[in-house]
Amino acid sequence: MIDIRLLEPGDAEVYKKLRLEALLNSPEAFSASYEEVQADSIGEYQAIFQSQNIHTFGAFESNELFGVVTLIRETKMKAEHRTTISGLYVTPYKRENGTGKTLMHTAIDCAKSLDGVEQVCLSVIIKRDTVKSLYYALGFVPFGVHKQAVKLGDTYFDEEYMVMTLG
């Protein structure tokens, strides 16, 4: 049975391990590099998991973390009506069972529960059609493209920005 829950400081090591896996499997999908994340301390993740404005949800089966997504609330007064979803990842052998969609619904529901939040934003590398179709199906609409947003070696990837209006 799959358990979706908010990550806690005690989950920091398994989260970092899964994040490193994500960067090895889909390096173009994330702005961070494997080397940068490898250098992150466990304490950094423990602090993030205690933040009031950052909510990282994990998908567990038999106490094994295999999927994650993060919702970040803007803290500036003029932007606190917005949240951003980032870092959606499901380990390859657990894909195609709806976990990504469930994680996204969890993050969106969290955004809806936050007082004053009106928008959920995200971005996606354009070549990632499977996840992009999930975002469209959930109700996200594109509002812009950043050409050559990510550079991996000599290859550039465009990034599409999307938004969902709540309410």
Give per-residue pLDDT as tens, 21-61.
999 999 988 889 999 999 999 999 999 999 999 999 999 99
The token duo for 9 is 């400081």
Report the distance separating Cα 108 and Cα 158, nearest Å.
25
Higher pLDDT, 85 or 125: 85
As a residue count, the chain comes to 167
- DSSP strand E in 8-153: where? 54-61, 64-73, 82-90, 119-125, 141-152
CB distance 38 to 47 below 8 Å = no
pLDDT score for 167: 79
Q: Amino acid identity of 55? A: H
CATH number assigned to the domain with residue range 2-122, chosen from the 4 options 3.90.470.20, 3.40.50.300, 3.30.70.100, 3.40.630.30: 3.40.630.30
Q: For residue 146, how many other CB atoms are within 10 A of its CB?
A: 13
Task: Name which of 146, 144, 145, 142 is nearest 162 in CA terms.
Answer: 142
